[in-house]
Amino acid sequence: MYQTKMYRNMMYQNMKSNTDMETDGQLIDQIVDPASPYPTYQELERRARRRFEIEPEDGSNAEANPALKNWQILFPEKDYEEFRTQLQFECLRIRYLSDGLKVVGYIYKPKNTLGRKYPVVIYNRGGNREFAEISLSDKLVWYRRLAKQGFVVIASSYRGNDGGEGKEEFGGADVQDVMALATLAKALPYADPDNLFMYGVSRGGMMTYEAIKNHVAIRAAAVDSGLVDLESLGRHRPEMISGVYRELMPDFDQRASEHYRLRSATQFADKIDVPLLILHGADDDRVPAADTLRFAGQLQELGKKYELVIYEGDEHGLLLHQNDSWPRIVQWFNQFKK
């Protein structure tokens, strides 16, 4: 508790008054996702080819482009057309309060809730700033799959992104944006307040671990390719230090050890007090699986409730094992429903 209090006193750029704390998670407004109606698959593929610089248009050099291959795995035409034309669910763009800031997020839910209450998954995205911002891939893959299994999905773009106020800190004060979603979820008339879960991908895994450390009220969590040791990651990928840590973490050069300690789950494994499913690719070159294995070893020694799955031959995001990882995630959450 002392560490959490010091963390907030030292790192929050917007000091929280009692009024701010009372309004965290307050829903300000919501509209139908402005990205809809979604483009046709053909238009989406044309955009992808332009983005990946595949020329000529007949795609004669497409086979050598790994980015396009990954895109095609995430965006099968049949699945995308089902997502684009279905009438059962809706995606809402929301604004809500966190530390007094108006932060942008999304809710993916049934159009007609019929007085029902659904279990909720708080989804924590990866990336930073506009990189890996909430996009069609999130809505098609993560939101849609969870919704089809009976969950309402709530996600934050994190402060400073997608038109929201403030500036993200890559696991600093912006963790409150995730915490506030739990409060928001409990106030939704169609959400079951006793069945909140959390799912984080990459950077979102770090946000998940920090939220658990800060006692977010969830029943279980799942993490895919999550960051667990930022200092180790900086050694593995020095560009993270120069392009992310230094740019987003306040006074990084003077406070690096503090930032690493507060954001690295390997430094607070004893604070992980909810059932945790950890998924990682053995060949992940963005977040080394060795760090996750070390973290899992700590959980094992502490007697924590967790499950670890390392997928041989897979990389960041587990694109090659979607048929196995997704049923595991849903089964994990269902196992701990109240």
- Domain CATH number, residue 106: 3.40.50.1820
> Residue 221 forms beta bridges with which residues?
198, 276
In this structure, are 260 and 318 located in the same domain?
yes
What residues make up the domain containing 208?
2-32+88-335
Identify the pLDDT of residue 46: 87
Identify the pLDDT of residue 136: 73
CA-angle at 131, arms to 69 and 144, nearest 5° = 65
CA-angle at 124, arms to 224 and 322, nearest 5° = 35
In this structure, are 220 and 163 located in the same domain?
yes
Cα–Cα distance, 145 to 162 (Å, whole number): 23
70 CB neighbour count, 10 Å cutoff: 16
Half-sphere exposure of 253 (CA within 13 A, CB side): 3
> How many structural domains are present in the chain?
2
Identify the pLDDT of residue 328: 97
Each residue of 220-268: pLDDT tens digit?
A: 999 999 999 999 999 999 999 999 999 999 999 999 999 999 999 999 9
287 phi/psi in degrees, rounded to 5:
-130, 105
Residue found under tokens 């979603």: 181
In this structure, are 143 and 44 located in the same domain?
no
In this structure, are 80 and 96 located in the same domain?
no
Strand, helix or coil for residue 19: helix
* 332 touches 277 (CB < 8 A): yes
In this structure, are 199 and 63 located in the same domain?
no
Dump strand ranges (E) for the chain. 27-32, 89-98, 101-110, 118-124, 152-156, 191-201, 220-224, 276-281, 306-311
Among 191, 207, 118, which residue's Cα sits nearest to residue 156?
Answer: 207
Identify the pLDDT of residue 14: 39
In this structure, are 112 and 239 located in the same domain?
yes
Give the domain-ending residue among 47, 67, 85.
85
Identify the pLDDT of residue 67: 76
Half-sphere exposure of 16 (CA within 13 A, CB side): 21
Cα–Cα distance, 120 to 197 (Å, whole number): 6
Q: Which residues of the chain have pLDDT under 70?
A: 1-22, 54-64, 132-133
Cα–Cα distance, 87 to 79 (Å, whole number): 14
Identify the pLDDT of residue 19: 40
CA-angle at 204, arms to 242 and 174, nearest 5° = 75
In this structure, are 70 and 24 located in the same domain?
no
0.85 exceeded by the pTM? Answer: yes
In this structure, are 101 and 76 located in the same domain?
no
In this structure, are 217 and 331 located in the same domain?
yes
Identify the pLDDT of residue 16: 43
In this structure, are 115 and 244 located in the same domain?
yes
